[in-house]
Structure formats: structure tokens, C-alpha cells
Amino acid sequence: MANGDKNRRFGIDPKTRQIILGKWRVPLPESPAVRIGIGLLLVAAGTLGFLPVLGFWMIPLGLLVLSHDIPAVRRARRRLAVWWARWRGNAEKSSGK
């Protein structure tokens, strides 16, 4: 594991095509059609998050899977990641850490 990978807590590893969720790593299928299908299914099921078993957590996971193959979703995810990193940096500076 490279030094930069140790800090990675959320996203997709482009080398291994695995979703990284904290300490868990989940491999993505090889086929782009299957990945897009899984992503769309997760987003659609996430909209029914008020039902038992399903949850609203499925929407961001589905968007993460879709970001691997759809450039517009990838750009939005990267903008969100940059904004989050800047916001966290400012929050840590203001709290004196």
C-alpha cells in the first residue's frame, strides 16, 4: 500500500477497481454495463430508503459506483471531495488542532 493510500478513506482505487469505504474494500465488476447497472440500482433503491432493509445510504454509494464510468458524475464527486477537504482544513484551523 502506497503512502497516499493510507490516508484514503472513501473513493475508488483506480488501480485495483475497488470501492474504499473506511477500512473495507469492495471489488467492482469488470464490465462497465454491470457497474452502471449496479450504480443505477443502488440510487433507485436508495430513493426508497424509508422502507425496511433499504436505506438512503445507497444513493451516495450508487453515485460512487457510477462515478467510475460516467464523467459528469466523476467531476461532481471530485468537486465535492475538494470542497470537503477545504472545509475540513478550515474547520481544523479554526478549532486550533
Band of residue 72 on the pLDDT scale cut at 50, 70, 90: very high
Q: Does 97 score more than 70 pLDDT?
A: no
Report if residue 82 sits inside a domain.
no
Query: Is 17 a domain residue?
Result: yes
Domain count, the chain: 1
Q: 80 lies in a domain?
A: no
Contacts 24+ apart (CB under 8 A), 80-88: 81/11
Which helix H or strand E contains 41, and what residues bound it?
A: helix 32-46
62 within some domain: yes
What tens digit of pLDDT does each residue of 24-70 get?
888 989 899 999 999 999 999 999 988 887 889 899 999 999 998 99
The predicted pLDDT at position 21 comes to 83
Pairwise pLDDT comparison (21 vs 8), residue with the higher score: 21
Query: What's the rounded Cα separation, in Å, for the pair 95 and 97?
Result: 6
For 55, the domain range is 3-70
Q: Which is higher by pLDDT, 6 or 87?
A: 87
Classify residue 88: in a domain, yes or no: no
